[in-house]
Structure 1
Amino acid sequence: MSQTLRHPEILEIARRDGKVTVERLAAHFGVTLQTIRRDLTDLAEAGRLDRVHGGAVLPSGTSNIGYEERRALNADTKRAIARACAADIPDGISLFLNIGTTTEAVARELLHHRDLLVVTNNMNVANILAANTDCEIVVTGGQLRRADGGLVGPLATGTIRQFKFDCAVIGCSALDADGDLLDFDIQEVSVSQAILRQSRRTVLVADHTKLSRTAPVRIASLADLDAMYSDADLPEKLAADCEGWATEVVRSWVVDDAGPSWQEPG
């Protein structure tokens, strides 16, 4: 496996386990200890990990990982989440899709929907949906965040306030055990909060890695949303809270020729 493919998986293991060790990674990938040490050094120099004796740990939760790296992580899982979400989006509605690699996956699953009005502050979403000639696209404008094609700032929120959406699909960087949706960029959070206020139905799309991450800025609570689409079973207390809040939790499964990769609960 090439370094390009190893790095995202190393970061995924670090997010899942909290740390990685040189010996375990070498055994996992079938490469030498020296190769893994170089990988960890590269990731540390890029600010993705902090080196410790014998391995590495995640850095403090004050900055997000890179966009291309996020796009590569759990691509099949995000596709499954997006497919489940898009299946519940009817034709002929107004819809907001915000910044995020999972919302971009939702956009790809909407390419055959008809008569949609999609408003977005995500240039990547707009480019994806441009292939759907039955979809009218409105881009909010705003300050361009070159790292991920996001549009933020007062112009973005001002555009959003001119609409009342039938549905909004949003992502987040982390999901706390108490159900708080968290992010890193306070400008992006302001945009997300405006989206939630202007939408009749609000939906979160988030894969299992969001449950093991943290971020400093609060967007909202799952209590404020109508549904969450994820590949993960929520912690028992949070699942019970969602039931009390009437927040629907929709679990998706990655499906291949061998069938679902997750076993549905009985």
Structure 2
Amino acid sequence: MSRLPGEERRADIVRRARSVGIGTVAELAAAYRVATSTIRRDLAELTRAGELARTYGGAIPVLTSHEASMKQRLGEAFEAKRAIARRAAADITPGETVLLDAGSTVGALAHELRDSEGVTVVTTSLDAMMVLADSPQVHVECLGGTLRHLSHGLVGPLTEIALERMTFDRVFLGGDGVSAVDGICEADLRQTRMKEVMAAQSAKTYVLAHAAKLGYRPFHAWAPLPNGWTLITDDAADPAAVAEFRRHGVDVQIASPLS
């Protein structure tokens, strides 16, 4: 690719992010034949303009008000989700029973639990079930219900009935957005109802959300969260957003970049 003027380069970065993803700062610098410092300034400017959200080493397009499919979600903030999942897994100890929501970040946590010993995983996620299917040392309980094709998750009265007959040491929830005041934002009221039941049955509630989801309100369905819940996010999170969660009594944990 020939070198582009700054404005054209930044517009092309946004187009690339929305189509195939943009990779790392180093990869962008090589593609546009500029210094990495130039790319970092481009990304900072696009973030301030609301076009991108920063992640480890790169950026993703700002989420739209349309619910993304699981395939689309898997390509968003991949390294950030892996780091968040690793941090979440560190809190789980042998003998615990944990509940995993559907979603790509919680799915990354399922990957982290594949070699766990003495852990019981209960889940509404088809992806988590498949990830753990070849881990005989992990006891897996699969909840029934109605499949939401976009999220690969199970919802509805059958799922709720099963959940109400169990209790959990920890629940790990995902969401389209998360607010310090209102809780988890989702596209579907069945999802928010499900998350509320999941939190009610658990001794400790976690929300796993990368930086772009903090304070993001794309829909009008909300799941309130219990007092003392924990947010695990990545180090690209806006310090002001993190401070707002902490001001409302949320335990915020920042996941370190993967080495």
The TM-score by the shorter chain falls in which range? 0.7 to 0.9
The offset of 1:178, in angstroms, is 3.8
Equivalenced residue count is 215
Tell me the amino acid that sits aligned with residue 73 of structure 2: R
Distance across 2 between alignment mates of 1:198 and 1:237: 28
Say which is worse superposed, 212-221 or 193-202, in terms of deviation: 212-221
Distance across 2 between alignment mates of 1:253 and 1:111: 21
Any conservation in 2 of the 1:15–1:212 contact (CA below 8 Å)?
Answer: no
Is 1:104 the counterpart of 2:116 in the alignment? no
The aligned residue for residue 236 of structure 1 is 240
Any conservation in 2 of the 1:179–1:238 contact (CA below 8 Å)?
Answer: no
The aligned residue for residue 19 of structure 2 is 7
The aligned residue for residue 223 of structure 2 is 219
Is 1:183 the counterpart of 2:186 in the alignment? yes
**Any gaps of 5 or more consecutive residues in structure 1?**
21-27, 29-48, 50-56, 257-266
Any conservation in 2 of the 1:123–1:149 contact (CA below 8 Å)?
Answer: yes
Say which is worse superposed, 87-96 or 234-243, in terms of deviation: 234-243
The offset of 1:134, in angstroms, is 1.3
Is 1:126 the counterpart of 2:129 in the alignment? yes
List per-residue Cα deviations over 1:216-266 (Å, max 9, x = no partner).
111114x63431110044553752552552x3211012234xxxxxxxxxx
Tell me the amino acid that sits aligned with residue 18 of structure 1: G
Distance across 2 between alignment mates of 1:171 and 1:210: 10
Summarize the alignment of residues 41-80 of structure 1 with structure 2, pairs less than 5 Å apart. Answer: 59=64, 61=65, 63-80=66-83
Residue of 50, 75, 78 corresponding to 1:18: 50
Say which is worse superposed, 172-181 or 112-121, in terms of deviation: 172-181
Distance across 1 between alignment mates of 2:83 and 2:240: 23
Any conservation in 1 of the 2:181–2:248 contact (CA below 8 Å)?
Answer: no
Q: Would the alpha carbon gap of residues 244 and 74 (structure 1) be closer, same or farther in structure 2, given more than 3 Å must change? A: closer
Distance across 1 between alignment mates of 2:47 and 2:220: 17
Tell me the amino acid that sits aligned with residue 236 of structure 1: A
List per-residue Cα deviations over 1:63-86 (Å, max 9, x = no partner).
312221111111111000000110
Q: Would the alpha carbon gap of residues 81 and 58 (structure 1) be closer, same or farther in structure 2, given more than 3 Å must change? A: closer
The offset of 1:191, in angstroms, is 0.8
Q: Would the alpha carbon gap of residues 248 and 107 (structure 1) be closer, same or farther in structure 2, given more than 3 Å must change? A: same
Q: Secondary structure at the match of 1:167?
A: strand
Q: Would the alpha carbon gap of residues 139 and 15 (structure 1) be closer, same or farther in structure 2, given more than 3 Å must change? A: farther
- Percent same amino acid among aligned pairs? 27
Q: Secondary structure at the match of 1:254?
A: coil
Tell me the amino acid that sits aligned with residue 152 of structure 2: G
Any conservation in 2 of the 1:181–1:219 contact (CA below 8 Å)?
Answer: yes
Distance across 2 between alignment mates of 1:142 and 1:191: 11
**Any gaps of 5 or more consecutive residues in structure 2?**
2-14, 23-42, 53-57
The offset of 1:141, in angstroms, is 0.3
Any conservation in 2 of the 1:15–1:209 contact (CA below 8 Å)?
Answer: no
Any conservation in 1 of the 2:127–2:152 contact (CA below 8 Å)?
Answer: yes
| TM-score of the pair, normalised by structure 2 | 0.73
The offset of 1:172, in angstroms, is 1.1
The offset of 1:132, in angstroms, is 1.6
Q: Would the alpha carbon gap of residues 58 and 174 (structure 1) be closer, same or farther in structure 2, given more than 3 Å must change? A: closer
**What CA RMSD, in Å, does the superposition of the two structures yield over aligned residues?**
2.9
Distance across 1 between alignment mates of 2:120 and 2:179: 32
Q: Secondary structure at the match of 1:134?
A: coil
Any conservation in 2 of the 1:173–1:182 contact (CA below 8 Å)?
Answer: yes
Distance across 2 between alignment mates of 1:67 and 1:91: 30
The aligned residue for residue 161 of structure 1 is 164
